[in-house]
Amino acid sequence: MIIAANFKMNHTRASTVAYLRELNAFISNENISDEVMIFPPFTALDRFETPANLTVGVQNGYPAQKGSFTGEIGLEQIEEFGIDLILIGHSERRHILGEDQPFIAQKFDFFKEKGFRIVYCIGEPKEVRESGIDAVLAYNFKQLEGIDLSYEKLVVAYEPVWAIGTGLTASAEQIEETLSRLRDRIKAPLLYGGSVKPANTKEILEIENCDGVLVGTASWEVESFEKMLSISKNLKK
């Protein structure tokens, strides 16, 4: 299983250090063997010492080595911290920051070319979900346009927009059906994201074709994230 924490615009440099110190100890004391990914904000990046199964990644990156892109962070800045894991296509970047599919595909190609592990996010808004599974799949497949699904370092996170940060989780049936249809095209590990929390982690991880979770809100408190790691550890799948 892959258990990933997206801090979004939460945590500072100091609180990220404290979080990772606690999490490192937890992973070794509890013999956690799942793959753990942590995506802190850019300002908190550093060369962290972590157990082999914990990787720190970036929430975004500009598809250039360096250059005149005010406010952006490129490969040169990311590589300074030895980071080779990136989140691309998150719905907040698509819908709030206005990233379109060609730009997202350009980012994907750039970081693929550089050998990054890529967690690539897709997911439909509420009105699409209300139109039924075929509309949901058509929408999600559009978000795969220009993306090399055979890339060996790809992980896909299915995150319905209406379930992100809203407390609404897709039902187990909705997740199962969507993941199984996505599986027809995607051989890479498939994560689910959208209001995942300790109370629903077991049910979600037990779903066929679900290879892990991408957690926002419920990952920001380290104890809550650790609960999810324990749940995954005790799962027989």
Catalog residues that contact ligand PGA under the rule CB under 6 A.
Answer: 6, 159, 164-165, 193-196, 214-218
Q: Which of 56, 50, 114 is nearest to 83 (CA)?
A: 56
Query: Nearest distance from residue 216's CB to ligand PGA, in Å?
Result: 2
Chain residue at closest Cβ approach to ligand PGA: 216
CB of 168 to ligand PGA, least distance (A): 9
Amino acid, res. 158: Y
Residues in the chain: 237
Strand 212-215 and strand 154-158: pairing?
unpaired
Cβ of 15: how many Cβ atoms within 10 Å?
Answer: 15
In this complex, which beta carbon is closest to ligand PGA, that of residue 66 or of residue 95?
A: 95
Is there a catalytic annotation at residue 159?
yes
Active site residue 90: yes
User: Minimum distance from CB of 4 to ligand PGA (Å)?
Assistant: 8
Greatest CA separation found in the chain? 50
Q: In angstroms, rounded to a whole number, what is the distance separating the alpha carbons of residues 172 and 183?
A: 16
| Closer by beta carbon to ligand PGA, 125 or else 165 | 165
* Tokens representing residue 4 in the block: 């990933």
Name the active-site residue from 99, 159, 176, 226.
Answer: 159
Least distance to ligand PGA from the beta carbon of 36, Å?
Answer: 15
Query: What angle in degrees, to the nearest 10, is found between the helix axes of 172-183 and 133-142?
Result: 50
Q: Which CB sits closer to ligand PGA, 75 or 139?
A: 139
Q: How far apart are CA 115 and CA 128, in angstroms?
A: 34
CB of 64 to ligand PGA, least distance (A): 25
Identity of the residue, 75 or 164, whose beta carbon is nearer to ligand PGA in the bound complex: 164
| Strand pairing report for 212-215 and 190-193 | parallel
The sign of the dihedral angle between the CA atoms of 52, 53, 58, 60 is: positive
* Main-chain dihedrals φ then ψ at residue 55, nearest 5 degrees: -120, 135
Nearer to ligand PGA, 83 or 157 (CB): 157
Active site residues: 90, 159
